[in-house]
Amino acid sequence: MNLVFGIALTHVRARARQTLVAVAGVATGVGFSIMMAALLQGSQQDFIRQLVNAMPHITVSDERRKPTPQPSETFFDSAEIHGLTPQARRRGIKNPLATMASLEGWVPGAVAPSVKVQAILRYASRDVGASIVGIEPRRESSVSDLPKQMRQGTLAALYRATNAIILGDRLAEKIGARVGSNITVQTSEGVRVNAQVVGLFHSGVRSVDEGTAYTLVKTGQILAQQTGLVNEIRLRLGDALAAPETAARIERETGYKSVAWQEASEDLLNAFVVRNIIMYTVVGAILLVASFGTYNIISTITHEKARDIAIMKSLGVTERRVRAIFVIEAGFIGFAGALIGFALGYGLCAALGMITIKNPFTDVTRLPIAYSPVHYAMAAAVAIISSLAAGYLPARKAARLHPVDIIRGAT
């Protein structure tokens, strides 16, 4: 066996108990880091899943990101135009049926049209502003979870009455309406429609529950005073993560503003970045603390072995090899700690995964745990690198020991 390796192994064996404590320190660090990472990422994935399920993956609206360029701007490199009144465009996506048909042709997922109108709901002399979304109930289930979010009534009930409306539960509470109530819907253009509440939904997102109501597309078009109007196409994709690319392509092809869910909930995703930074900091700190244990034991060993180091150096073992001995010992502690930490981390994750949480609105859920090899690799890498660093410092000091100082001191 290699000299350096043999000596390192002998030291570790001779200090079995101390080594075990250091290994346990690293293992605990690695185990808990894995658990933390799994829990945090699990809850994050769970949250995103809910978010992604609750809303369409891509919303194509009849807006444009930039004003249409003036003809002179396309002809000349630079043109300055003063005093133009912006052209008032006719609302709605042009030729919605053709647009939808073309989207359905290539987008991997479902497409549903809708009409969005701002209106005031009035009931028992209470007025509340809300977005009225005209939908096609049959298509709706393929792009959103609205059917599952119904607290009272069903989507199909929209067909049952003329001007049927489904309210967010908080919205209904605000105006004091219940299922069966007849409310008045009035737009800023002065259109007034009487509608019957046929259902209530609860999405869990407060702003939606407080300010959204669903009707049939036709009712929406009446409110907007425009037959055949579709001003929003919503899509749900097979792969939610592909939404930004698909949205960009739709925007390129149709010219309409297409917003992927990632863009729509940018602030939330940014919050996750902050959360991840916090997570990695805490995980790093745990492992750093564990590496102090490694530093401690390697320091102790080098201290105890000062005489042996002097002997080895006097016999002609080079500084580099003396250093290697202790770095290998530290590496061993890091490696063994990582391996045991894997088992510990997996066990903790499995145990946490069995904990159930009761939520008054949803079914009983388990703690969301994400099992990812990345967590294991990351924890092991940090543990081993910090162990090596922790071993290197005392090893370097030990290797620099002057043999004569020790030999002279011993006599």
Out of 64, 138, 148, 408, which residue is the one contacting another protein (CB under 8 A)? Answer: 408
> Cα–Cα distances in Å, from 293 out to 191, 228, 325?
74, 72, 18
Which segment (2-10, 61-69, 183-191, 284-292) binds another protein by CB under 8 A?
Answer: 2-10
- Residue list 290-349, contact with another protein (CB under 8 A): 307-308, 311-321
Nearer to another protein among residue 6 and residue 108 (C-beta): 6
Interaction residues for another protein, span 11-50 (CB under 8 A): 11, 13-14
Q: Which stretch binds another protein (CB under 8 A): 8-16, 27-35, 40-48, 260-268?
A: 8-16
For another protein, the closer of residues 14 and 355 by Cβ is 14
| Pairwise CA distance, residues 178 & 5, whole Å | 79
Give the number of other Cβ atoms within 10 Å of residue 187's Cβ: 17
Instruction: Give the number of residues in contact with another protein, rule: CB under 8 A.
Output: 28
The answer to whether residues 145 and 205 touch, using CB atoms and an 8 Å cutoff, is no
At closest approach, how far in Å is the CB of 293 from another protein? 22
Contact 220, 115 (CB under 8 A): yes
Q: Rounded to the nearest whole angstrom, what is the least distance from the CB of residue 12 to another protein in the complex? A: 10
Q: Which stretch binds another protein (CB under 8 A): 57-65, 67-75, 137-145, 399-407?
A: 399-407
Nearest CA-CA partner of 115 in 224, 261, 209, 212:
224
Q: At its nearest, how many Å lie between another protein and the CB of residue 388? A: 22
Q: Which is nearer to another protein, 249 or 321 (CB)?
A: 321
* Cβ closest to another protein, residue 245 vs residue 405: 405
- Report H helices in 131-242: 137-143, 146-149, 169-175, 206-211, 217-223
Distance CA 5, CA 150 (A): 67
Residues 6+ apart with CB under 8 A from 50: 204
Q: Which of 87, 125, 359, 411: binder of another protein (CB under 8 A)? A: 411
Q: Least distance from C-beta 351 to another protein, angstroms? A: 40
Residue 329 and residue 298 in contact, taking contact as beta carbons nearer than 8 Å: yes
**164-168 and 192-201 beta bridge pairing:** parallel
Q: Return the number of the residue (88 or 315) whose C-beta is nearest another protein.
A: 315
Which class for 231: exposed (0-12), middle (13-18), buried (19 or more C-beta within 10 A)? Answer: buried
For residue 14, the minimal CB distance to another protein (Å) is 5
Binding range to another protein, per CB under 8 A, among 3-11, 108-116, 177-185, 323-331: 3-11
Q: Does residue 409 interact with another protein by CB under 8 A? A: no
Say if CB 33 and CB 345 are below 8 A apart.
yes
Is residue 403 close enough to count as binding another protein by CB under 8 A? yes
**Terminal Cα distance for the chain, rounded:** 33
Smallest gap from Cβ 316 to another protein, in A, equals 4
Asked if residue 165 lies in contact with residue 183, where contact means CB atoms within 8 angstroms, the answer is yes
Scanning 5-13, 57-65, 73-81, 280-288 for contacts with another protein by CB under 8 A, the matching segment is 5-13
Q: Using CA atoms, how far apart are residues 247 and 268, in angstroms rounded to an integer?
A: 19
Q: Which residues pair with 111 in a beta bridge?
A: 235
Closest contact distance (angstroms) between CB of 11 and another protein is 7
Q: Whole-number minimum distance, CB 16 to another protein, in Å?
A: 12
Nearer to another protein, 157 or 322 (CB): 322
**87 — phi, psi (to 5°)?**
-70, 130
Q: Write out the residues near another protein by the rule CB under 8 A.
A: 1, 3, 6-7, 10-11, 13-14, 307-308, 311-321, 402-404, 407-408, 410-411
